[in-house]
Amino acid sequence: MPLFKKLLPEHVVDKLPEALCNPSLEFDEEAESLPVYNGETGDLLFKNKVPGARRVSRQRLRALLAKDLDESGTIRWGKRLAEFSQIDGEAGPVQLRFEDGSTYDADYVLGADGSSSKVRELLFNGDEVARVQLSGFMFATAIVKYGDAAKVEAVLKTHPVAAITMATNSVGGCGVMYAGEPNDLSDWTTMWVKIWRKSVAPLPEGVSAGQEALDYLKATTKGLAEPFQSMIDWSPDGSPCHIDEMKTWVPQPFDNRGGRITLAGDAAHPMLIYRGQGFQHAILDASQYLDALIKVNEGAGTKEHAIAAYDADMIERGAKAVRQSLQEAEFSMDPKTVHKMLMAREGHGRSV
């Protein structure tokens, strides 16, 4: 959180509570923890301390971070990158060309366009080596409004923010998504997730979202310890539900076009969603990239050297984190191996 706040204007930092899933929650030692339960017995396996951690709504946070940039006209919505070229040769600025035919000239380009990054594809000249790899682990999420205070209370009893369960060949989780009035739990929205091996329960062709996805998850998820099983079974028809296979890409050296173009976040090192590592490394990417640009602007180094140093660090730690996320997934699929997880041994601190 301190590094995240460092990157933001003070007036935006002051508004961060608006993005919290439960703004009225009093954060104490219990709220700043993450319990992990045995998905077969319901027993507590371990509980991580996560001091200062806050669960936020991605939608609310994105809106908060984009507000000033949007109002100033800085954001160009709906643009899809087609190609880039350098003006005046390798040393020159970059011209971005979009699918609608428009162009934009930039001194620097930071590709932060997600796991299937177009910037990454272009940096590698369309080579297959830039493509994300399927992990063999499926991820499902559902946003649920039970309309029943007792059912929401069952979620809160696992933990006031979020909880995880680990069973043979699957991982589950639950938490508060949008807290309504504190005295009316029936109006609250919660969420649950499930991770499982694709080989154990293959996804039927064409099923990825909506009611078909929800029906599939209800039919194939049986025997989880309570209340996790019931959270899935209780989900009302029509609840937003999505399923996808998680993807990874181990970062490797690339031509950054003389320090003009590089990558960050999921575009640089897409990983599985264990221990919050993706977000933590993305924030570190942003901070270190900013530091590199400041160094160049102040004349303390050339863009070639500053961005090369950024790339070297990002690639080394990103590659390690991606590999660790795959190992975490393997260990999480059986309560007998959970104790080997970094999550169990070291908690949620950044991996490197």
Determine the pLDDT at residue 285.
Answer: 98
Q: Are residues 160 and 295 in the same domain?
A: no
Is the pLDDT reported for residue 89 higher than 80?
Answer: no
Same domain? 150 vs 212: yes
pTM of the model: 0.93
Q: Which of 217, 233, 248 is the last residue of a domain?
A: 248
Tens-place pLDDT, residues 180-237: 899 999 999 999 999 999 999 889 999 999 999 999 999 999 989 999 999 999 999 9
Q: Which residue has the higher pLDDT, 275 or 332?
A: 332
Specify whether 143 is located in the same domain as 206: yes
pLDDT at 2 over 90: no
The pLDDT of residue 91 is 75
92 domain residue, yes or no? yes
pLDDT score recorded for residue 351: 60
Per cent of the chain over pLDDT 70 is 99
Residue ranges making up the domain that contains 84: 79-132+250-320
Residue 252: predicted pLDDT: 97
Number of independent structural domains in the chain: 2
Position 348 in a domain: no
Check whether 276 has a pLDDT greater than 80. Answer: yes
Q: What percent of the chain has pLDDT over 90?
A: 89
Does 25 score more than 70 pLDDT?
yes
67 and 83 together in one domain: no
32 has pLDDT over 80: yes
φ/ψ bin of 160: left (φ > 0), alpha (ψ from -120 to 50), beta (otherwise): alpha
Q: Is residue 345 in some structural domain? A: no
Q: What is the CATH number of the domain that holds 284?
A: 3.50.50.60
CATH number of the structural domain spanning residue 36: 3.30.9.30
pLDDT, averaged across the chain: 95
- Whether 45 maps to a domain, the answer reads yes
pLDDT tens string 279-327:
999 999 999 999 999 999 999 999 999 999 999 999 999 999 999 999 9
Looking at 203, 229, 248, the residue that finishes a domain is 248
- pLDDT exceeds 80 at position 349: no
Last residue of a domain, which of 248, 277, 293? 248
Q: Say what the pLDDT of residue 48 is.
A: 92
Residues 167 and 115 in one domain: no
Quick one: pLDDT at residue 336?
Answer: 87
Q: Are 241 and 161 part of one and the same domain? A: yes
Lowest mean pLDDT, pick from 105-109, 222-226, 328-332: 222-226
Q: Is residue 167 part of a domain?
A: yes
Using the predicted structure, report yes or no on whether residue 350 has a pLDDT greater than 70.
no
- Same domain (yes/no): 38, 184: yes
User: Quick check: is 342 in a domain?
Assistant: no
